[in-house]
């Protein structure tokens, strides 16, 4: 039980750290990747909270597809550049 709690505390610190990186980094690409990392850590936390369904959804949608949506839009914007 204490091991579980220790893991959860580590996970919470990692989640908040990734969120802080996402907010205060100067590069947008790093921010998008850190936001995906927040989602991934949150999905492990859902697993600890006995919600495997939610964990699967968050891992597939929140951290997978959302990140790629951001990259597609960033790619379009970079290709067109500053007109």
Partner 1 sequence: MNFTTRKAIPLVLLLLLGSVFYALFAGYTPDETLNRTASYYASQTVQETGAQNVVTAIIVTYRGLDTLGEVTVLFLTAAIVGLVLAHSKAPKSRSGSGFLPSGELLTTGTRMLVPVILLFGAYVFLNGHLTPGGGFQGGAIVASAILLMLLSDPAQRFSHRLISRIESSAGLTYVIIGLLGMLFAGGFLDNRILPLGSFGSILSAGVIPLIYALIGLKVGAEFSSILTSLEETEDAQ
Partner 2 sequence: MSLVQLSLATGFLLILLGLYGALTNRDIIRMIVSFTIADTGVNVVLVAVGYLPGREAPILDTIPVAEAASRITDPVPQALVLTAIVIGLGVTALMLAYAYRLFRARGSLDISEFTELKW
Instruction: Please give the residue ranges that form the binding site for partner 1 (CB under 8 A).
Output: 52-53, 55-57, 60-61, 64-65, 68-69, 72-73, 75-76, 78-81, 83
Give CA–CA dist 21/32, Å, rounded: 10
CA dihedral 21, 26, 31, 32 (to 10 degrees): -170
Shortest gap between Cβ of 2 and partner 1 (angstroms)? 18
- Asked whether position 75 contacts partner 2 by CB under 8 A, the answer is no
The residue (of 30 and 75) whose beta carbon lies closer to partner 1 is 75
């Amino acid at each position: 039980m204490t091991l579980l709690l220790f893991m959860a505390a580590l996970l919470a610190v990692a989640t908040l750290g990734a969120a802080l990186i996402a907010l205060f980094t100067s590069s947008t690409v790093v921010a998008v990747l850190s936001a995906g990392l927040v989602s991934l850590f949150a999905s492990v936390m859902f697993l600890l909270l006995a919600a495997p369904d939610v964990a699967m959804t968050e891992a597939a949608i929140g951290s997978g597809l959302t990140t790629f949506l951001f990259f597609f839009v960033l790619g379009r914007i970079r290709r067109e550049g500053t007109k």
